Amino acid sequence: MRNLLLIYLFNRVLTVKPSEEIETFKDLQVIIDHFNQYPLVTAKKLDYDLFKKSFNIIKHNQHLTEQGISKIIELKSSLNKGLSENLKESFTGFVSGDGSFNIKATKVRTGKIQLRFAVNLHIREQEVIKGLAKFFNFKDNSYIYSTDTSVAIQIVNTSDVLNIIIPFFDKYKIKGAKELDFTDFKKAAEIVKHKGHLTEDGLNQILVIKDNMNLKRK
């Protein structure tokens, strides 16, 4: 019984299919030890922490008490309802670290401006990136780029940047230094949205923003 519950939780948490390989409590302990040694980052971590709490309750036989049971039920329900919310919050978390907002002026004279949002992660976070693409309703992994060691989501499509990415970060605030880059990026995007980049004045404003963000920020 305790194994079944944990295996169920584990499936929810890591969305792997471990049922064949993970059959005993001992196997789960091995997994916990593994992740203690090599901590998960990003979205999975929150879910994993919930899983680990449940594991510890059961390990110490506290699930046999009423208090332990209600604790597990509480953890399980926060897993169920919280997944997408967790994902959104973790996403802003790793954007704060590994995301970038860039403005590219490819052909300055013609006012060709590209707004680019990207997040680069280790290949082991592939599922997180895919989950996000799905969450944003981007079709068929169209914005996902992988190499042997890394995976990235990169969005340059102006209408997706304006209608999806910016509203998302208006709602789920980026923390730390990158917040300033987002603010600048958004100012430039506002100009693009109203076709200001096609005027000399608007284009110059964008170039000033571009020259004072990211690494060029003073």
Give SS3 for 104: strand
Instruction: State the number of binding residues for ligand NAG (CB under 6 A).
Output: 3
| Range in contact with ligand NAG (rule: CB under 6 A) among 13-21, 65-73, 121-129, 152-160 | 152-160
By CB under 6 A, tell whether 114 contacts ligand NAG: no
Contacts 24+ apart (CB under 8 A), 132-141: 132/87, 132/91, 135/84, 135/87, 135/88, 136/160, 136/164, 136/168, 137/164
Residue 157 binds ligand NAG (CB under 6 A): yes
Q: 152 or 162: whose CB is closer to ligand NAG?
A: 162
Q: Considering the complex, what minimum distance in angstroms separates the CB of residue 147 from ligand NAG?
A: 23
CB of 139 to ligand NAG, least distance (A): 8
Shortest Cβ distance from residue 163 to ligand NAG (Å)? 7
Choose the stretch contacting ligand NAG; rule: CB under 6 A; options: 92-100, 121-129, 157-165, 210-218. 157-165
Sheet holding 112-122, edge to edge: 99-107, 112-122, 150-155, 144-146
Nearest to residue 32, comparing CAs of 42, 19, 20, 22?
22
Q: Look up residue 24 and give its amino acid.
A: T
Q: How far apart are CA 26 and CA 33, in angstroms?
A: 11
Residue 42: which region, alpha, beta or left (left: phi > 0; alpha: psi -120 to 50)? left
Residue 106 contacts ligand NAG per CB under 6 A: no
Calculate the dihedral angle through the C-alpha atoms of 137, 188, 154, 163, rounding to the nearest 10 degrees: 0
Closest separation in Å from C-beta 158 to ligand NAG = 7
Instruction: Identify which range of 99-107, 153-161, 200-208, 209-217 contacts ligand NAG by CB under 6 A.
Output: 153-161
| Interaction between residue 160 and ligand NAG (CB under 6 A) | yes
Amino acid identity for residue 68 in this structure: G
CA–CA separation, 169 and 31 (whole Å) = 34
Query: Which listed residue (36, 37, 149, 159) binds ligand NAG by CB under 6 A?
Result: 159
The CB-of-157 to ligand NAG minimum distance in angstroms stands at: 4
Q: Residues interacting with ligand NAG, by CB under 6 A?
A: 157, 159-160
